[in-house]
Amino acid sequence: MKTLKIAVLPGDGIGPEIVKQALQVTQVVCEKFDHRLEYQEGIVGACAIDATGSPYPDETHKLCMQSDAVLFGAIGDPKFDNDPKAKVRPEQGLLKMRKDLGLYANIRPVSTFPQLLHKSPLRADLVDGADFMCIRELTGGLYFGRPQGRSEDGNTAYDTCVYTREEVERILHLAYNFAGKRRKKVTVVDKANVLASSRLWRQIAQEIATKYPDVETEYMFVDNAAMRIIQWPKSFDVLVTENLFGDILTDEASVITGSLGMLPSASIGLHTSVFEPIHGSYPQAAGKNIANPLATILSAALMFEYAFHMPEEAACIRKAVTASMEAGIVTEDIADGAKAYSTDEVGSWIVEYIGQERK
């Protein structure tokens, strides 16, 4: 019997509701496969600011460091969005967590669901069968570069994009390793015709590509990549890029599947990995029991796969999610006029399905 130790960070908005369902799914999978689950909750985001003044308190960081994985909900609260003078914001907790845990890579699988093809803004023939992985560098670039700030008169602002060889090498090696287990193609996205930091990325990518001769490498400017994701999403296998470009492209890629409520992500790196849905805290739905828990449940599948190296357990969760969609047990955002089920009902149905399925 293996012990799985996870930190549970529900966060703000709908975070507690969706994480509750993913945790219940995690529990039933552990029971089914004879694992021992140990978990402890921590606070992060706006609720942590209210309680401690910090969006990522030291106690929460300590909990994460002592765990094998982190199951994370969402952060954000309108009261901070509407206060331009706020000195501390929930989103700063997410950046600090990434930095302190060494989460240098955000992994976002992008795949389509047959039941949602009609909801995609693209034609079904363009997206049907799309299956690629976006790998975004997470701890460098403009978001963390120094100097950063504004002039004394407030009329000029500046950010600095900084990357080191070490940061670029480790994310590229990760991309090639993933590609080697998939369809053996890496697309390196940059803006090397304009930016010095991108020219460093391309130089290092050209060096590293020679070490993976069985993997095809293509280089693409970010503006072209943005077009290609819409024109021909099935042409990608593993797409790797820097922080800001990755932030934009992964959101663009996510909508082609038809619903933000379906897409999970993993942030992995030097210490404890974090698994979370890509959608935000959706405060308008908080407490109403209507939020779609499937992205968070699928994030738990990624946790079993990447943190615990248990592909069978991950496949069990994905099969249950697919079954729930085929049975029409879904929340209002994807019910498409049919009966909509609550967050709790969807989670409970998946838990029951897993419990009844044979190994």
* Closest to 228 in 3D by CA, of 126, 124, 109, 133: 126
Tokens of 148: 């950063």
**Cα dist. 323→29, 90, 199, 351 in Å?**
16, 35, 46, 12
Q: In this structure, which amino acid lies at residue 50? A: D
Of 159, 247, 319, 344, the catalytic one is 247
Q: Residue 122 in contact with residue 106, Cβ under 8 Å?
A: no
> Is 223 considered catalytic here?
yes
Alpha helices in the chain (DSSP H): 15-32, 46-52, 58-65, 78-81, 90-100, 124-127, 165-180, 196-209, 222-231, 243-255, 294-302, 311-326, 332-335, 343-356
Residue with tokens 């008169």: 153
> Is 247 considered catalytic here?
yes
Of 191, 237, 282, 333, the catalytic one is 191
* Closest to 303 in 3D by CA, of 37, 31, 17: 37
* Closest to 99 in 3D by CA, of 139, 46, 143, 71: 139
Of 58, 81, 223, 336, the catalytic one is 223
Q: In this structure, which amino acid lies at residue 111? A: S
> Is 339 considered catalytic here?
no
> Is 143 considered catalytic here?
yes
Distance between alpha carbon 218 and the CA centroid of its chain, in Å? 24
- 345 φ/ψ angles, rounded to the nearest 5 degrees: -65, -40
According to DSSP, the residues that pair with 132 across neighbouring strands are 110
Of 131, 159, 251, 344, the catalytic one is 251
Q: CA angle 85-90-92, nearest 5°? A: 85
Helix (H) or strand (E) run with residue 107 in it: strand 105-111
Of 143, 306, 341, 353, the catalytic one is 143
> Is 50 considered catalytic here?
no
| Residue-by-residue DSSP string for 125-139 | HHHTT-EEEEEEE-S
CA distance 144 to 248: 16
Q: In this structure, which amino acid lies at residue 79? A: K
Catalytic residues: 143, 191, 223, 247, 251
